[in-house]
Chain A
């Protein structure tokens, strides 16, 4: 009985892994196939002849590398700003008792629930008028606004977990409120900060609707939007291998970032601060 359930668990693991990773493996395999193989009707799973020509091509494509740069720049700046603002806002929400605190939180939640598509039209018009259309800030601002609510909620939950005494102890030890925040609270909220940062970065990195609507050239177009321009010369034969290669290239930074931040996201960092 016990043996069976053990085997069942492993079968379950395997099924989930296959379910999740098969598409990834498929993309990887596609990216190593020459164009001739992908356009030849029903192709086999693994490439017959392995090639890295796709990678060479795509990295030589100035539009793509430019889009990659845009993606990095916009996502990182949006993440940074969002995390900074969210940290300060969440700290205030967790620590201070002010009028309208619930209102702030509810509005933040409402913003998070607002469909992005509904804002595309107004934003397009507005950005054109204020000359933010097709610029980096034109994407950074909406990305930041849409990720702030989630970041605030995540961080305020983290701040609430940190015993207030720590901050008071720091103040008694001679710290100004800012020093107490920077030297005691922020290091302890680091897991929360990194969680918020990862979520924000992913949103900005993967976002498509705003990226395609608020940009017109590679001056600010990000990779997800740029990929939609990979049509190739023949409308009946999209460049599958090129698309797959581009997908692999944009996935790699995400994986690296997750692995980097994962080490920082250590639960229970506050254990030992107070009794218990």
Chain B
């Protein structure tokens, strides 16, 4: 077990394309770190640089206090689970798990047998030991791949989208399994995923990457409640955060649907910037008719016509289209592109109590929790109100990784100008497990 330090890691390909650009992450011993981002953001490349399958263009990779840049994968003593499992098809499950032990030549047959049986019982593979991978189900293959990783006492586990080939139900089960296993073994883990549910549920801390640049490294809660910019705000959360054109006058924010009052400290930070983008999560809206009257009176409400509703049982989503001015529209389109999405229309997604009887095409009175609203600069994407909730306790409990003011410039091409090292707080990123 060991800590992994990545110092200003850069990966440039022959054509000058920087797949990973100046990423600095300190993974504490025993910590579970998630690398998340849309496809092509460099998260897998970064993982492969940790394990040594990809050369590092510049920067230092330090594992357990030792610089490993020039070490071969086999000398780094890391265990990796590949996206497609990469089981050895000509070997039985038993031999697959025993493979790293046999290579190491440190163990005799009895020790190997003991370790393999230990791993297989942990992963409930006992009755499959003599089978070949071809005869196993997807979930079983996945467990064999994990068995091969846990059987030796590697310094760290690396997972490259290990669950993306499983169906939804199995994915949920394996997610819990991985989490339990990691806590039980207490081993440093770096986990790559594009699935934000995995990112939010598994990680001690999550690093959000976009186009090779680390946008934010923080606890899941911090990411959700205090995104540093439009990208992180849009990436984390499902359905995603709503982005609305907004103008600020005093502490009143004018949205396409009406004016709402926001806390004075937030208003102060975002003051004097002209047109802004307001970000509100779907759950911060509510159908005013199903709420207590006095609570509604505290916040702001507005009326809007619902286009489509989706009733899910425990909650329902309502979609409300709106028009956005061109400069906001442009930024949102770009954001959609960054998030692998397609910008179809600007619409508001609100999550309502399932008790609400709203129907498609009806007009509704919506309550908005304006205290939770974020305001973003439309040109840079920076979150102007981020620091406001930074001291709200829970968010910063685990680590000191958020940046205070928006020192991250999210404009295209300006990537190199802003060192990713700035992502870490002054105290480094070390956090106890």
Q: Is B165 within 8 A of A275, CB to CB?
A: yes
* Chain A residue nearest in CB terms to B90: A187
- B90 A174 Cβ-Cβ under 8 A: no
Q: Is the CB of A168 within 8 A of B73?
A: yes
Asked if A216 is at the interface (CB within 8 A of a chain B CB), the reply is no
Q: Give the chain A neighbours of B83 by CB distance below 8 A.
A: 165
- Partner of A171 from the list B74, B87, B88, B104 (CB cut-off 8 Å) is B74
Is B414 positioned at the interface, with any CB of A under 8 Å from its CB? no
Q: How far is the CA of A173 from the CA of B135 in the complex (A)?
A: 23
Q: Which residues of A contact B380 (CB under 8 A)?
A: none
- Beyond A172-B74, A176-B74, A271-B134, whether A188 also contacts B141 by CB under 8 A is no
Q: Is the CB of A274 within 8 A of B86?
A: yes
Q: Check if B74 sits within 8 Å of A188, measured CB to CB.
A: no
Residues of A within 8 A of B394 (CB): none
Given A271-B134, A272-B132, verify A174-B100 contact (CB < 8 Å): yes
Q: When the two chains form their complex, are residues B89 and A172 in contact, meaning their CB atoms are under 8 A apart?
A: no
Chain A proximity of B320: nearest CB distance (Å): 40
Residue in contact with B88 in the complex, picked from A166, A179, A271, A276, CB distance below 8 Å = A166
Q: Is the CB of A170 within 8 A of B80?
A: no
Contact with B along A168-191 (1 / 0, CB 8 A): 111111111001000110011000
Q: Is A121 an interface residue (CB 8 A)?
A: no
Residue A269 at the B interface, CB < 8 A?
yes
Are B103 and A171 touching (Cβ within 8 A)? no
Please, which residues of chain B bring their CB within 8 A of the CB of A271? 89, 134
Binary interface encoding of chain B residues 247-265 relative to chain A, with 1 for a CB under 8 A from any of its CBs, else 0: 0000000000000000000
Residues in A whose Cβ lies below 8 Å from that of B52 = 171-172
Residue of A nearest to B76 (CB): A172
Q: Tell me if A106 counts as interface (CB < 8 A to partner B).
A: no
In the complex, what's the smallest C-beta–C-beta distance from A271 to chain B, in angstroms?
A: 5
Task: Determine if B86 and A171 form an interchain contact, defined as CB atoms under 8 angstroms apart.
Answer: no
- Alpha-carbon gap, A184 to B104, bound state (A): 16
A:146-172 near B, CB below 8 Å? 163, 165-166, 168-172
Which chain A residue shows the least CB distance to B54?
A168
A171 close to B72 (CB less than 8 A): yes
B89 adjacent to A169 (CB under 8 Å): no
Q: When the two chains form their complex, are residues A272 and B89 in contact, meaning their CB atoms are under 8 A apart?
A: yes
From 323 to 342 in chain B, residues with beta carbon under 8 angstroms from any chain A beta carbon are: none
Q: Please, how many angstroms separate the alpha-carbon atoms of A165 and B80 in the complex? A: 11
CB within 8 A of A168: which of B53, B79, B85, B133?
A: B53
User: What separation, in Å, do the CA atoms of A42 and B111 have in the docked complex?
Assistant: 76
| Contact residues of B between 61 and 84, Cβ < 8 Å to A | 72-74, 77-80, 82-84
Instruction: State how many angstroms separate the Cβ of A8 from the closest Cβ of chain B.
Output: 37
Q: Complex formed: what's the CA distance from A165 to B145 in Å?
A: 12
Give the residue name and chain of the A residue nearest to B165 (CB). Answer: A275
**What's the Cα separation between A216 and B85 when bound, in Å?**
58
Which residues of A are found within 8 Å of B185, using beta-carbon distances? none
B134: chain A residues at CB < 8 Å are 271-272
**Inter-subunit contact A163/B74 (CB<8 Å):** no
The answer, yes or no, to whether B136 is at the interface (CB within 8 Å) is: yes
A270 at the interface (CB under 8 A from B): yes
Establish whether residues B89 and A273, one from each chain, have CB atoms under 8 Å apart when the complex forms.
yes
Could you say which residues of chain B place their CB within 8 Å of the CB of A174?
A: 74, 77, 100, 103-104, 152
The answer for the CA separation of A271 and B135 in the assembled complex, in Å, is 9
Q: CB-CB < 8 A to B136: which residues of A?
A: 272
Chain A residue nearest to B158 in the complex (CB) = A172
Nearest A-chain residue to B53, judged by Cβ? A168
In the complex, chain B residues whose CB is within 8 Å of the CB of A166: 86, 88
Interface centre among A169, A171, A175, A176 (most CB of B within 10 A): A169
**For the complex, what is the distance from the CA of A173 to the CA of B105, rounded to whole Å?**
12
Contacts of B74 in A (CB 8 A): 171-176
**Is B86 in contact with A273, judged by CB distance below 8 angstroms?**
yes
Question: With A168-B82, A169-B86, A171-B74 known to touch, is A275 a contact of B103 (CB < 8 Å)?
Answer: no
In the complex formed, the residue of B with least CB distance to A274 is: B84
CA distance A175 to B85 in the complex (A): 17
Judged by a CB distance under 8 angstroms, whether B194 is at the interface is no
**Interface residue from A172, A269, A275 paired with B84 (Cβ < 8 Å):** A275
A159 → chain B closest CB, angstroms = 15
B31 to chain A, nearest CB (A): 20
* A272 to B83 Cα, complex, angstroms: 14
Q: Which of B82-129 contact A (CB under 8 A)?
A: 82-90, 99-100, 103-104
B82 touches A272 (CB 8 A): no
Contact residues in B for A169 (Cβ distance below 8 Å): 80, 82, 86, 88, 148
- Bound complex: CA of A78 vs CA of B73, how far in Å? 37
> Could you mark each residue 158-176 of chain B with 1 if its beta carbon is under 8 Å from any beta carbon of chain A, else 0?
0000000100000000000
Residues from chain A with a CB closer than 8 A to the CB of B51 are 172
**Which residues of B lie under 8 Å from residue A274 when comparing CB positions?**
84-87
B138 at the A interface (CB under 8 A)? yes
A54 to B166, CA, bound (A): 67
Decide yes or no: A184 and B88 within 8 Å by CB, A172-B53, A272-B141 being known contacts: yes
User: What CA separation (Å) do A171 and B82 show in the bound complex?
Assistant: 12
Q: Are the CB atoms of B103 and A188 closer together than 8 Å?
A: no
**Cβ distance A177 to chain B, nearest Cβ, rounded Å:** 8
3 nearest interchain CB pairs? A272-B134, A274-B84, A169-B86
4 new A-B contacts, CB < 8 A, other than A169-B80, A173-B100, A274-B87, are: A166-B86, A174-B152, A175-B74, A275-B141
Footprint of A on B, CB under 8 Å?
51-53, 72-74, 77-80, 82-90, 99-100, 103-104, 132-136, 138, 141, 148, 152, 165
Q: Which residues of A contact B (CB under 8 A)?
A: 163, 165-166, 168-176, 179, 183-184, 187-188, 269-276
What would be 20 A-B contacts, judged by CB atoms less than 8 Å apart? A165-B82, A166-B88, A171-B52, A171-B53, A171-B73, A172-B51, A172-B80, A173-B74, A174-B74, A174-B77, A175-B103, A176-B74, A187-B90, A271-B134, A272-B89, A272-B133, A272-B136, A273-B88, A275-B141, A275-B165
